[in-house]
Amino acid sequence: MKKFKYLILAAVSCIAILFFSFKEDLFLVSKNLDIFASLYREININYVDETSAPELMKTGIDAMLESLDPYTEYVPESEIEDYKLKYISTQYGGIGAGTVIIDGKLFVNEVSEGYAANKSDVKAGDQVIKINNIEIKGKDRAQISQLLRGPKGTPVDLTIIRDGKEISKKITREEIKQPNVSYFGMVGDGIGYIRLDKFLENSGQEVKDALISLNKENPKGIVLDLRNNGGGILQEAVKIVNLFVDKDQLIVTQKGKNTAKTITYKTQLPPVSPSVPLVVLVNGNSASASEIVAGSLQDLDRAIVIGQRSYGKGLVQQTFNLPYNSLVKVTVAKYYTPSGRCIQKLDYTHKNADGIAERFADSTISMYQTKAGRNVYSGNGVYPDIFVDVDKLSPITITMLNKNLFFNYANLYKKEKPIVASPKTFQISDADYVAFASSLADKDLSYQSRTERLLTELRYEADKENKTTEVKADLENLKNKLISAKKADLANHKAEIKRVLETQIISRYFYEKGRIEQSFQYDKELAAAKSVFNNQTQMLAILKGNGNYKVIGKPVKENVHVD
């Protein structure tokens, strides 16, 4: 009885402490809100110059949230529609055309197959000078987007210039649906392929539909491509994993300071493809929901992950409605894959003197185990089972992309050659490449290579140490050699430049689908996936923990998860 009394007394004491702590927190919140409101009022009333109340509030809110993480953000009423399109829905009213500004002029750079612009014969390369009789010169991207978008069924008039002639296009806006699954199909060797670009509404159903269609071909393996997929809705990620693993499997757990935000997600339905061999492709831009899918399938030993280490975003956001149709998106929890690891890379709680979040220290990285006993690690993203070295673009290629030189030549190529072969096999000839190189003769291709930057730094250091005279001849000699080498860059980087140019050209004929199909012939990660499917011994060795972390390309240390 006495022991029972002590237990009750202890419980009451704990409740009292928690209640006091809660009251103290409420008092601090209330106190600081009063201070903020009073400050805001006094500035608006008494500041010497005119102020904008909404701008002051937005600035204050943004500054406050900047001290947290980049995913916690305030969305005013004026930006709600853009927010929904970015994070929730894949649908909007428009004409189905992308634009680019080059030298102050607006050009169509991409047309979506089957939509209004395509039906009205709007083409990549058309220069847009008016939208609904409004001159677009000097307008920014947001203003142009606002002019092009609108309710389904409403008209939009474009005035374009093509081949020096002014043409009017009367177009009716349609509901534009940007699918989460941008492509699926068989890619040779009996392999099915699904490219998932985002995890917005209905993405789980889209992957399911693609999977059911591919299963009719009796594939010997499925590739789920999550490269460059920045994530989206957590629940959709769980639905997608459920397509490949049994019911009642733990997929992800989110844990927050607020216990109400601690939630466990398990699979709810029988799987569609529980046993077909599976490969997931990731890279450094695969984040959030992509990492939940890749990490959980890896932890459950259901898939082999191929590519490069993923981004490392282990945080969960939730939106909360605010007055006057605004909202705030708040990071409410961290998520943990089935093995118990959190793959969050940056520590936003402890920023450096410049206010920049740094990576978690190596000492905080912990080892976990998959269902079959393979070692996996927390922090720094999902590390692939098979690492494929990423190809980095050379300075000359980046320069040509930035100056839209591929864009211009692709438009010219389409005019001169109305028909080309299948996108799956399309390549430009050596003669085409020579013609492209010749078209650059009067173009500005100036750029500074990394070696040139180092040479500039070396010259600066020599000046500081009064050694310029001693090394002047060597520095000049090196500079001349670099200039000579740059002249040969078009030849030295031919294969890379050719691939980028082909991507631009093929989209003029076969749109996004053709661009994806054409890229398969150069895709090293896809080739690695096919190799695994054709080598069952290797696949089983990886999944049993006897052969993981194979490297394709530049060697790296095995089992290294931290830079």
The span from the CA of 323 to the CA of 226, in Å, is 37
Cα 110 from Cα 96, distance rounded (Å):
9
Q: Cα–Cα distances in Å, from 367 out to 341, 342, 549?
A: 8, 11, 15
Separation of alpha carbons 559 and 260, rounded Å: 36
What DSSP character marks residue 361? Answer: P
Q: How far is the C-alpha of 481 from the C-alpha of 359, rounded, in Å? A: 39
Q: What are the φ/ψ torsions at residue 217 (nearest 5 degrees)? A: -90, 5
Number of Cβ within 10 Å of residue 95's Cβ equals: 26
* Alpha carbons 433 and 144: distance in angstroms, whole number: 35
- Other C-beta atoms closer than 10 Å to the C-beta of 537 total 8
As a whole number of Å, the CA-based R_g of the chain is: 28
State the CB neighbour count (10 A cutoff) for residue 417.
Answer: 12
Q: What is 495-548 written as a DSSP string?
A: HHHHHHHHHHHHHHHHHHHHHHHHHGGG-HHHHHHHHHHT-HHHHHHHHTTSS-
Which letter, b or e, does each residue of 238-248 get, where b requires 16 or more Cβ atoms within 10 Å of its Cβ? bbbbbbbbeee
* Other C-beta atoms lying within 10 Å of the C-beta of residue 328: 16
Active-site residue list: 288, 299, 313
- Which class for 207: exposed (0-12), middle (13-18), buried (19 or more C-beta within 10 A)? buried
Q: Look up residue 373 and give its two tokens.
A: 């006993």
* DSSP letter, residue 232: B
> Which residues in 23-126 belong to E strands, given as ranges?
73-75, 91-94, 97-102, 105-111
Report whether 338 contacts 296 (CB < 8 A): yes
SS3 of 315, please? strand
Query: Within its chain, how far is the Cα of 356 from the centroid?
Result: 21
